[in-house]
């Protein structure tokens, strides 16, 4: 019986956390995205299970990265608008 690649499970977990956690989710998403590529390489090389988990981790990480960038940009724009109004 083939075992499931652990990195694919971790990449999916980090991808989900990158969507849920504000600000730190950007870092988690980047790590999860990179880990998904590494896990797919290992899965192909070692004939393991978990390719779907790794792909889902890549998608969730990408969504989380995009969401975090939007959140950060909105925060910067809100801060800048407060500075303009305050002066």
Q: Which pLDDT value is given to residue 71? A: 94
Quote the radius of gyration of the chain (alpha carbons, Å): 17
Burial 38-47 (b: 16+ CB within 10 A, else e): ebbebbeeee
Note the pTM of the prediction, 2 decimals: 0.90
Residues 11 and 1: their CA atoms lie apart, in Å, by 22
Ranges in the chain, pLDDT < 50 = none
What tokens appear for 76 in the block?
A: 């910067």
> Are 53 and 9 within 8 A, CB to CB?
yes
Q: Which pLDDT value is given to residue 84? A: 86
Instruction: Please give the mean pLDDT across all residues of the chain.
Output: 95
- pLDDT tens digits, one per residue of 63-85: 999 999 999 999 999 999 888 88
Give one word for 59, left, alpha or beta, with left for phi > 0 and alpha for psi -120 to 50.
Answer: alpha
Where do the domains of the chain lie?
6-86
Distance from the Cα of residue 22 to its chain's centroid: 12
């Amino acid at each position: 019986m083939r075992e499931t690649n652990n990195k694919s499970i971790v990449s999916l977990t980090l991808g989900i956390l990158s969507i849920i956690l504000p600000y730190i989710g950007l870092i988690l998403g980047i790590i999860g995205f990179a880990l998904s590529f590494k896990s797919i390489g290992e899965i192909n090389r070692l004939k393991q299970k978990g390719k779907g988990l790794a792909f889902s981790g890549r998608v969730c990480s990408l969504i989380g990265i995009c969401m975090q960038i939007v959140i950060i940009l909105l925060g910067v724009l809100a801060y800048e608008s407060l500075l303009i109004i305050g002066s």
